[in-house]
């Protein structure tokens, strides 16, 4: 066990991100309740250890899409009903409608599960503007601090229902790193359907080597993630995870990518076990979070 991993035991404020592909069954797209239950139980126990816990969750669009499927307002029928609009605007409207339905469903499940473990869950929906606008950012920071002081578990997602291209963050890997920076977290854990970072895509290249620890996030490493699209359910591939690592590590937050299929993985990480890929924080006082977020997706 590396000595750096040992220090993870002392982390107090933890942000955990879970992706849509980890929350749904790949065959049917339906919610994976067992996985959600295990996640909530682990997070509740970590909270009971006296740590601050924030959950960044995807799955709203996936849950809403499923709920609306087959109904008259569902994806296919809606596209036919409104032929005058451009494909992109259409896709956006469908996504926003799905998230409006799905976010409420998602929270209903989390509220129920967290209540079973006697935890108070709170919802925070963010947009790009929450970070870029000084007053919004200040208010969001205060809300997080107060919720954590009161012992609640904030559950965060992007406010997809109102986010449009100009104001969208776009993926929850990036969002979770932004949240970790905003709340001055000690550790960000990205739970995904992969074990961590490899030298190449292990699904395509058998020679790909697993990387246990990244001390320096070089341009070469950043380039490795480009073009990686990940699973078809969420929006995050390795590229967004490396962007998240850049935001987190420059904001003095350590980050771990780990496999959500691995039961008890959160506890094992927090016990200092060598699991997943650890990105070591390097505080950069010159890092301008609002400026970085403002320029996201602008090339
Ligand atoms: N905010 C989106 C949702 O809840 C997910 C974004 C992502 O997959 O990273 O469905």
State the pLDDT confidence band at 177, using cuts at 50, 70 and 90.
very high
State the pLDDT confidence band at 81, using cuts at 50, 70 and 90.
very low
Q: What is the pLDDT of residues 147-170, one digit of tens each?
A: 999 999 999 999 988 877 556 888
Cα distances (Å, whole numbers) of residue 66 to 73, 75, 97: 12, 10, 12
Distance (Å, rounded) from C-alpha 64 to C-alpha 131? 26
The whole-chain average pLDDT of the chain stands at: 88
More confident of the two residues 239 and 51: 51
For the chain, the residue count is: 299
pLDDT at 3 over 90: no
The interaxial angle of helices 238-250 and 172-182, nearest 10 deg, is 10
Distance 171 CA to ligand 1 centre (A): 6
How many helices and strands (H and E) does the chain possess?
13, 10
Distance 146 CA to ligand 1 centre (A): 25
Q: State which ligand 1 atom lies nearest to the alpha carbon of 175.
A: 9
Give me the residues paired with residue 55 across strands. 16, 155
Residue 272 Cβ inside 6 Å of ligand 1? The answer reads no
Distance (Å, rounded) from C-alpha 297 to C-alpha 113? 35
Q: What is the DSSP string of 74-120?
A: SHHHHHHH-TTS-HHHHHHHHHHHHHHHHHHHHHHHHHHHHHHTT--
Distance 235 CA to ligand 1 centre (A): 7
State the pLDDT confidence band at 89, using cuts at 50, 70 and 90.
low
Distance 158 CA to ligand 1 centre (A): 7
φ, ψ dihedrals at 83, nearest 5°: -70, -15
pLDDT at 80 over 80: no
Q: Residue 82 has which token pair?
A: 């409104």
pLDDT at 58 over 60: yes
Q: Which 8-state DSSP code applies to residue 50?
A: T
End-to-end C-alpha distance for the chain, whole angstroms: 39
- What pLDDT, on the 0 to 100 scale, is given for residue 84? 55
Residue 192 Cβ inside 6 Å of ligand 1? The answer reads no
pLDDT at 133 over 80: yes
* Three-state SS at 3: helix
Distance (Å, rounded) from C-alpha 93 to C-alpha 108? 23
- What pLDDT, on the 0 to 100 scale, is given for residue 170? 85
- In 3D space, the residue among 281, 275, 271, 282 whose CA is nearest the CA of residue 51 turns out to be 271
* Of 10-24, 215-229, 236-250, 279-293, the least confident: 215-229
Label the pairing between strands 153-158 and 121-126.
parallel
Supply the pTM of this predicted model: 0.91
Residue 20 Cβ inside 6 Å of ligand 1? The answer reads yes
- What pLDDT, on the 0 to 100 scale, is given for residue 232? 44
pLDDT at 132 over 90: yes
Lookup result for tokens 């996985």? 35
Ranges assigned E (strand) in the chain: 13-18, 52-57, 121-126, 153-158, 187-192, 197-198, 210-211, 213-214, 254-259, 277-279
Q: What is the pLDDT of residues 26-57, one digit of tens each?
A: 999 999 999 999 999 999 999 999 999 999 99
Residue whose CA lies nearest to ligand 1 atom number 6: 171
Q: Dihedral sign, CA of 162, 123, 182, 214?
A: negative
Q: What is the pLDDT of residues 247-275, one digit of tens each?
A: 999 999 999 999 999 889 999 999 999 99
More confident of the two residues 25 and 164: 25
- In 3D space, the residue among 151, 152, 128 whose CA is nearest the CA of residue 140 turns out to be 128
Q: State which ligand 1 atom lies nearest to the alpha carbon of 170.
A: 6
Cα distances (Å, whole numbers) of residue 292 to 15, 182, 246: 20, 13, 11
pLDDT at 74 over 70: no
Q: State which ligand 1 atom lies nearest to the alpha carbon of 172.
A: 9
Angle CA 220–222–223, to nearest 5? 65
State the pLDDT confidence band at 210, using cuts at 50, 70 and 90.
very high
Distance 3 CA to ligand 1 centre (A): 35
Residue 174 Cβ inside 6 Å of ligand 1? The answer reads no
């Amino acid at each position: 066990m590396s000595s750096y991993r040992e220090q993870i035991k002392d982390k107090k404020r933890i942000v955990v991100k879970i992706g849509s592909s980890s929350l749904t069954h790949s065959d049917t797209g339906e919610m994976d309740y067992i996985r959600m239950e295990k996640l909530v139980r682990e997070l509740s126990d970590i909270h009971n250890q006296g740590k601050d816990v924030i959950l960044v969750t995807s799955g709203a669009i996936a849950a809403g899409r499923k709920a609306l499927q087959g109904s008259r307002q569902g994806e296919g029928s809606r596209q036919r009903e409104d032929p005058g609009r451009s494909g992109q605007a259409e896709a956006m409207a469908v996504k926003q409608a799905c998230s409006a339905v799905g976010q409420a469903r998602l929270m209903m499940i989390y509220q129920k599960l967290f209540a079973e473990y006697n935890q108070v869950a709170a919802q925070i929906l963010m947009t790009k503007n929450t970070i870029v606008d000084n007053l919004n950012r200040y208010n969001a920071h205060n809300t997080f601090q107060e919720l954590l002081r009161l012992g609640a578990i904030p559950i965060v997602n992007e406010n997809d229902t109102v986010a449009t291209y100009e104001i969208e963050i776009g993926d929850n890997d990036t969002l979770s790193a932004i949240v970790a920076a905003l709340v001055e977290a000690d550790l960000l854990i990205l739970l995904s359907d992969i074990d961590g970072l490899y030298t190449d895509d292990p699904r395509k290249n058998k020679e790909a080597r697993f990387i246990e620890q990244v001390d320096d996030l070089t341009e070469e490493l950043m380039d490795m993630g480009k073009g990686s699209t990940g699973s078809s359910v969420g929006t995050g591939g390795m590229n967004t995870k490396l962007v998240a690592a850049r935001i987190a590590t420059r904001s003095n937050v350590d980050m771990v990518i780990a496999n959500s299929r691995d039961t008890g993985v959160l506890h094992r990480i927090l016990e200092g076990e060598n699991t997943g890929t650890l990105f070591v924080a390097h505080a950069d006082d010159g890092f301008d979070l609002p400026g970085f977020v403002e320029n996201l997706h602008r090339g």
